[in-house]
Amino acid sequence: MSTTAALEIAVTSPAGAIVARDGGADRVELCVGLELGGLTPSQALVEATHETGIPAHALVRGRPGGFVYDDDEIDLMVREARAVLRSGAAGVVVGALRPDGSLDVDVLARFVDAARSVSAAAEVTLHRAIDHAADPVAAVATLEGLGFTRVLTSGAAPTAVAGAATITRMVAAAGAVQVMAGAGVTPADVPALVATGAAAVHLSAKRPAPGSAHAGVPMGGADDGSAHFLTDLDVVRAARAALDA
């Protein structure tokens, strides 16, 4: 089986971007706080990752939790979208919902306009907010008209493999928008995800950093402070090999 599906790796550092690059990834999604689902990276982090040479798409997400935002949060994320692109990001990864579970198309349009005001070539990805939408298949059909490049989805399931049937339906509804399958993905899952027609596969390829645990002293978060991960070169290479098989 041959495929042109792309490989995207979620990373939190320039070192992770280098591992992804050397393992054969096509691009990275850059964020901080991966253990929180990912948050907006700093300007310096975007700049340093850009210098590694692999295209980096910066997550723009101002806080953990849900995807219904107030005006101040939206204004900040609009500014962050412009800032990360000016710092060298190849694209932004954004999302917003209304309280009824529909996509907040007005906010999403602002995000797309902010990105393209910096670079007409900027790619804009809708993140897994779509998996919390009331009807992900209907939602994906609206993205082409909003100017999105792609959407990251698990098919509204805990893992992309579990949501493969819905991802297949989303691919059929997406038009020119690329559907990227991600969530709980391992290299062994790649053939099943490619079979959905997805244009790309997304995974974090992470392993715990040695010596990162410091149990017994609470750090104010939901975990014990040991949620520090590194990008695993062997996992990236295995995912690349599975895509190329």
Q: State the Cα–Cα distance between residues 239 and 160, nearest whole angstrom.
A: 15
Per-residue pLDDT at 231 exceeds 90:
yes
How confident is the model at residue 1, as a pLDDT? 36
How confident is the model at residue 216, as a pLDDT? 58
Mean pLDDT of 101-124: 98
Long-range contacts of 30-37 (CB under 8 A, 24+ apart): 30/56, 30/57, 30/58, 30/59, 30/89, 31/58, 31/59, 31/61, 31/93, 33/64, 34/10, 34/204, 34/206, 34/229, 35/223, 35/227, 35/229, 36/64, 37/61, 37/64
Half-sphere exposure of 84 (CA within 13 A, CB side): 35
Beta bridge partners of 182: 202
How confident is the model at residue 210, as a pLDDT? 79
Contact, 173 vs 139, CB < 8 A?
no
How confident is the model at residue 94, as a pLDDT? 98
Mean pLDDT of 67-78: 98
Mean pLDDT of 15-35: 96
Mean per-residue pLDDT of the chain: 93
Tens of pLDDT along 180-220? 999 999 999 999 999 999 999 999 998 888 765 555 555 55
How confident is the model at residue 35, as a pLDDT? 85
Mean pLDDT of 52-80: 97
- Within the chain, strands assigned E span 6-11, 27-30, 56-59, 91-94, 123-126, 150-153, 178-182, 200-203, 206-208, 229-231
Tens of pLDDT along 119-158? 999 999 999 999 999 999 999 999 999 999 999 999 999 9
Q: State the Cα–Cα distance between residues 27 and 152, nearest whole angstrom.
A: 14
How confident is the model at residue 229, as a pLDDT? 84
Top-confidence residue, 214 or 165: 165
**AA identity, residue 235:** V
Mean pLDDT of 219-226: 53
How confident is the model at residue 209, as a pLDDT? 82
Q: State the Cα–Cα distance between residues 174 and 145, nearest whole angstrom.
A: 10
Q: State the Cα–Cα distance between residues 194 and 4, nearest whole angstrom.
A: 9
